[in-house]
Amino acid sequence: MQKKRDHIAESIADYMAMSSEEQGAMIARVMEDQPFLMGFLTDVADEFSDEQHESLVDSVMILLNAFIAAGMPVGLIPGPALEEVIKERTEAYAEADVLLPEVSESPKVFQDLRNLAIVKADLNVDSEQDLANFNLMLDILITSVERMADYEQKQKDGSEA
């Protein structure tokens, strides 16, 4: 039996091993390929510390790399789809009355990327509200990327049938 690969863990290791020039080039490519997602992330930059915002950007790069490594490229995330995810995830967090990984549609991915941010952005020292905002933003990014990858995979599977 073949062991299932942990594409997120591998992508984290690969991304963290890149030079800052390589990371910058990748971010520039993704800004062109994902203008709505990256525009949204740029728009909320002032709501987070530089380290937290950098961790959110890193999370998007890691997610995209993980899907590519799994053979599931992520197409353009359209603005309306992103707005739908923002609304839906914000409501889910508000209804849960707690901002924990379990509220995420992908708790393991959320936890892996949040752990990276804890180390990189020192999330443990921020206020509870700052942490809640970070958790929500991270979940929005994960959900947006995962849904588009899933959509692309369904399109691909449908065309092969």
Supply the pLDDT for residue 26: 95
Q: What is the share, in percent, of the chain residues with pLDDT greater than 70? A: 89
Tokens for 10? 């591998």
Distance CA 109, CA 104 (A): 9
Tokens for 139? 């979940």
Distance CA 105, CA 142 (A): 9
Whether 89 and 18 have beta carbons less than 8 Å apart is answered as no
User: Is residue 160's pLDDT more than 90?
Assistant: no
**pTM of model > 0.85:** yes
Supply the pLDDT for residue 155: 85
Q: State the average pLDDT over residues 137-158.
A: 90
Place 14 in a pLDDT band, splitting at 50, 70 and 90.
very high
Supply the pLDDT for residue 3: 46
Place 100 in a pLDDT band, splitting at 50, 70 and 90.
low
